[in-house]
Structure 1
Amino acid sequence: MVGIALLLNFQGKYSDAKSTFFASLIALFVGAATVIYNIDHWSLTKQSAIHFLIMLITVYPILLLSGWFTIVSVFDALKIFLFFVLVGAILWLVLFTLAKVFSW
């Protein structure tokens, strides 16, 4: 995705390049943090809490810096945080359900 962002940048599509770059950073951190769920001696609660903390210190700041949201006040950052938590919870529930349905 970084390569796509570079191509977009060279084509003068700076906004698209910036968005693609930030999306690639989010994908990188989310993908890298999934290894936490392979630590079998940790409970699902601990795995989920550690994953949330990693997302909080990586993905949340990216959302704030990406320019995808208007940030004028601390209240705006709080709204973005609530969006971050809501989307994360929905994704966690969907993936948890799929893992239970398709586990052998």
Structure 2
Amino acid sequence: MKLWGQAVLRGGIPLVIMSGISVALYAQGEAKDGRGTLFAALVFGVVLAASVIYDVERWTLARQTVVHFAVMIVTVLPLLFVSGWFPTRTAVDCFAIVGTFLLVGLVLWTAAFVVFGVLVPRFQARSTRDRVPH
């Protein structure tokens, strides 16, 4: 399947499920929770859809990271500003949103790098060695 199809599946499935939950919450009179769930669905869907960028094997990790970061800046960051999760009354509020965005992104990128760039290859190499007869 092409990357666009993978992106639609990865992002679309949780987006549809969580949007359904959001609609149900609105229907139950839980507008604030419904709105929060809808924005979580949008953020989660975008992040998962954009994860296909890391499947472009001909790109370096640096290029994948820069492209992914650019996608997050034009999608997730604006969603954080309009989600209602953070105050946006002052410049300090806005800088706090950007700082939170950057910090969470750095932590998640680092965790993913450690898991998928270090641990998984190490376990795969060990598993391959263990299957080879001595």
Q: Give 1:76 deviation, angstroms.
A: 1.4
Name the structure 1 match of 2:27: 10
What runs of 5+ residues in structure 1 fail to find an aligned partner?
Answer: none
Q: Once superposed, what is the RMSD of the aligned Cα atoms? A: 0.7
Task: Work out the number of aligned pairs and report it.
Answer: 104
Letter in 2 for 1:84: F
Superposition map of 1:9-88 within 5 A: 9-88=26-105
Deviations 1:22-41 (A, max 9, x none): 00000110011001001111
Q: Percentage identity across aligned positions?
A: 38
What runs of 5+ residues in structure 2 fail to find an aligned partner?
Answer: 1-17, 125-134
**Max Rg structure:** 2
What is the alpha-carbon distance in structure 1 between the residues aligned to residue 91 and residue 76 of structure 2?
18
What is the alpha-carbon distance in structure 2 between the residues aligned to residue 18 and residue 98 of structure 1?
32
TM-score by length of 1: 0.97
- Moved beyond 6 Å, runs of 4+: none
Letter in 1 for 2:60: S
TM-score by length of 2: 0.76
